[in-house]
């Protein structure tokens, strides 16, 4: 995990939602508090978020979007092709970033070592230094509340922002609805 941010994604019954905080740190200094680390891709059908080096992440977003376009938006084929390229390229392997990508059907974590991980429950994933706080909160809220997908992501990231020094409570959220 990176000492950089918190990204949380939740693929529920009615919506796919991703959220992230806005803090950018450099060592023990906060450089920016309102960064955007999530975006929509491929005709607003895919959501993506990153943790790690900002410059590296922009590179990865662009590369992943190229794979989405060549695979006509097929998320599974895109993550596999992207992972192969990331793992084989000597320059890319040195990039310090992770990504979460999801649509209404699938959710994946993409690591800087070329790993593609589909969460065991297929519904909730997190990355970044506050990721464990956020995913713990999300699992509890999904199980013990009536909050919708967007509310679960927002509340979970707010909790992570209270606990992780590399995460703030300036939360941005994107969603795909039916």
Comparison of pLDDT for 102 and 83, the residue scoring more: 102
% of the chain beyond a pLDDT of 70: 94
Q: Cα–Cα distance between 175 and 9 in angstroms, integer?
A: 10
Q: 3-class SS at 79?
A: helix
Q: Which domain holds residue 127?
A: 2-176
CATH number for the domain harbouring residue 47:
3.60.20.10
Rounded to two decimals, what is the model's pTM? 0.93
pLDDT per position as a tens digit, 109-149: 998 777 899 999 999 999 999 999 999 999 999 999 999 99
How many distinct structural domains can be found in the chain?
Answer: 1
The predicted structure's pLDDT at residue 3 = 58
Residue 167 annotated as part of some ligand binding site = yes
> Residue 161, annotated ligand binder?
yes
Percentage of the chain exceeding pLDDT 90: 71
Axis-axis angle for helices 75-88, 54-70 (nearest 10): 130
The pLDDT value recorded for residue 2 is: 53
Catalytic residue among 5, 6, 29, 36: 5
Rounded distance, CA 167 to CA 75, Å?
A: 28
Mean pLDDT over the full length of the chain: 91
Q: From the centroid of its chain, how far is CA 11?
A: 12
pLDDT, tens only, 64-98: 999 999 999 999 999 999 888 877 776 666 677 88
CA distance 162 to 131: 12
- The reply to whether 6 belongs to the active site is no
Residue 1 pLDDT greater than 60, yes or no: no
Q: Report the alpha-carbon distance of residue 165 to residue 167 in Å, rounded.
A: 6
Token pair belonging to 61? 């977003």
Which of 128-151 are b and which e, b meaning 16 or more Cβ less than 10 Å from the residue's Cβ?
Answer: bbbbebbbebbbebbeeeebbbbe
For residue 23 the two structure tokens come to 């803090």
């Amino acid at each position: 995990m990176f000492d950089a941010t918190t990204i949380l994604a939740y693929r529920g019954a009615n919506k796919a939602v991703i959220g992230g905080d806005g803090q950018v740190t450099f060592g023990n200094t906060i450089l920016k508090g309102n960064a955007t680390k999530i975006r929509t891709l491929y005709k607003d059908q895919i959501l993506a978020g990153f943790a790690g080096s900002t410059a590296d992440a922009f590179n990865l977003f662009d590369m992943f979007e190229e794979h989405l376009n060549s695979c006509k938006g097929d998320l599974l084929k895109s993550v596999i092709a992207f992972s192969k390229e990331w793992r084989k390229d000597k320059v890319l392997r040195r990039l310090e970033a992770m990504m979460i990508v999801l649509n209404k059907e699938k959710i994946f974590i993409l690591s800087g070592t070329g790993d593609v991980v589909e969460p065991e429950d297929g519904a909730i994933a997190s990355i970044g230094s506050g990721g464990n706080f956020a995913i713990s909160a999300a699992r509890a809220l999904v199980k013990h509340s009536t909050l919708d997908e967007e509310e679960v992501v927002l509340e979970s990231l707010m909790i992570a922002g209270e606990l992780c020094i590399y995460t703030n409570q300036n939360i941005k959220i994107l969603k795909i609805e039916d």
